[in-house]
Amino acid sequence: MKKIPILNIPVKTNHGVSFIYTLCLILPLFVIAVSCDDDDDDDEDLVGNWIEMSDFEGIPRSDAIGFAIGNKGYVGSGYDGRDRLSDFWEYDADRDTWIQRADVPGAPRNGAVGFATDSKGYIGTGYDGRDKMKDFWEYDPSLNTWTQKADFGGSARYGAIGLTINNKCYIGTGYDDYYLKDFWQYDPASDLWTQMTSVGGSKRRDAVGFVINGKAYVCNGVDNGVYEDDFWEYDPLTDSWAKKNPISNVSDESFDDEYTSIKGINKVAFSLNGKGYVATGGEGSAGNIVWEYDPATDLWEKKTAFEGSGRADAIAFVAGNRAYVATGRSSSYYFDDIWAFDPLAEYDEDD
């Protein structure tokens, strides 16, 4: 696997603006901590295997968008440490090859959301270096074209979550000039946005979400310097949120003793084989820990750590029977590698 030296260098945040713990537009730069969450010594005891695939062919970047349609993955936009980007790439999971597709329209951006229905991809919101955004675009892979759709129904923002449930699209949480917890549904058939019941618990930005069996799950994120540990399940049939076990060690039992490492921001999330996964990122750090969530038991289990360099602000998508994690950053290093993950395979340190 690729090993990149990690240096403590003053950098800008994933949104290209300076911060001290929470986002700030004018304060001095802060050193991003490098996570010590490397679990390589314990990987032989865990289940799940990572395989490095053919490098992403675009510029190394962080805070991009990623989604999949069928067996094709898509990666675009983002921030390379100097510029915000508009290029857009298609990954063929069957052939392990990349091809450049039509650029994402609108202003180059990072901090956007990207997701897909069975046949179309979508990107919206984000930050262009000056303004927060709320435009919303649909991608047709058969025509390689983008079509502008109705603007997102909420306020312009970045650091939101984006989900698809039964071919309806959802955007929620994030940051405009304040931390947010609102939740909106988009119907591609009518091109209309409807405000739904807000996410339970705290406001937050840079959270993650995944979908299992028609329900959404939302966790992580930061609110005014606090890394949130609440965890919520959304049922679109009743438009309601149910609180699940916290992602921290709050009980007297042993099952949640290590849960604190699930918390953080700038992580990736995906679902596969009826389970949910949260990986990389951390509490202001670049990490590699991977956790699996079982909705039947409301419990988390640690899986084989991500085998690339620890990182934040990566992207993830699922194509076929494997998940893929790509791009991201650690301090001032930006990545262009992509790794496939099979959560059911035995760990193999040699592949």
How confident is the model over 90-100, as pLDDT tens digits? 999 999 999 99
pLDDT of 330 > 50? The answer is: yes
33-34/285-286 β-pairing = parallel
Report the C-alpha gap between 86 and 109 in whole angstroms.
7
pLDDT of 336 > 60? The answer is: yes
Position 32 scores a pLDDT of 42
Q: Is 5 inside any structural domain?
A: no
Range of the domain at 285: 10-346
pLDDT of 40 > 50? The answer is: no
Q: 101-132: string of b/e by CB count within 10 Å (b at 16+)? A: beebebbbbbbbbbbbbeebbbbbbbbbeeeb
Q: Which helix or strand (DSSP H or E) is residue 186 part of? A: strand 179-187
Q: What is the mean pLDDT of residues 317-345?
A: 97
Q: Is 2 inside any structural domain?
A: no
For residue 208, give the nearest of 258, 127, 273, 278 by alpha carbon. Answer: 278
121-127/132-140 β-pairing = antiparallel
Q: What is the mean pLDDT of residues 94-113?
A: 98
Q: Is 207 inside any structural domain?
A: yes
Position 5 scores a pLDDT of 40
- The chain-wide mean pLDDT, for the chain, equals 90
Report the C-alpha gap between 320 and 72 in whole angstroms.
9
More confident site: 52 or 43: 52
The string of pLDDT tens digits covering residues 162-178 is 999 999 999 999 999 99
The Cα-based distances of 36 to 15, 57, 286, 333 in angstroms read: 24, 29, 9, 17
More confident site: 31 or 131: 131
Percent of the chain with pLDDT over 90: 84
Percent of the chain with pLDDT over 70: 87
| CA neighbours closer than 13 Å in the CB half-sphere of residue 152 | 31
Which residues are within 8 A (CB) of 108 and not within 5 positions of it... i.e. 6 or more apart? 77, 83, 84, 85, 86, 128
More confident site: 244 or 24: 244
Q: Is 3 inside any structural domain?
A: no
pLDDT of 63 > 80? The answer is: yes
pLDDT of 329 > 70? The answer is: yes
Q: Is 332 inside any structural domain?
A: yes
As for how many domains the chain has, the answer is 1
Q: What is the mean pLDDT of residues 70-88?
A: 98
240-243/231-235 β-pairing = antiparallel
Q: Is 351 inside any structural domain?
A: no
Q: What is the mean pLDDT of residues 316-333?
A: 96
pLDDT of 274 > 80? The answer is: yes
More confident site: 319 or 351: 319
pLDDT of 107 > 70? The answer is: yes
329-330/322-326 β-pairing = unpaired
Q: What is the mean pLDDT of residues 64-74?
A: 97
Q: Is 134 inside any structural domain?
A: yes
CATH of the domain at 180: 2.120.10.80
Cβ atoms within 10 Å, residue 145 = 12
Q: Which helix or strand (DSSP H or E) is residue 97 part of? A: strand 97-101
Position 124 scores a pLDDT of 98
Report the C-alpha gap between 193 and 151 in whole angstroms.
8
Instruction: Provide the 8-state DSSP code for 60.
Output: -
Q: Is 316 inside any structural domain?
A: yes
pTM: 0.88
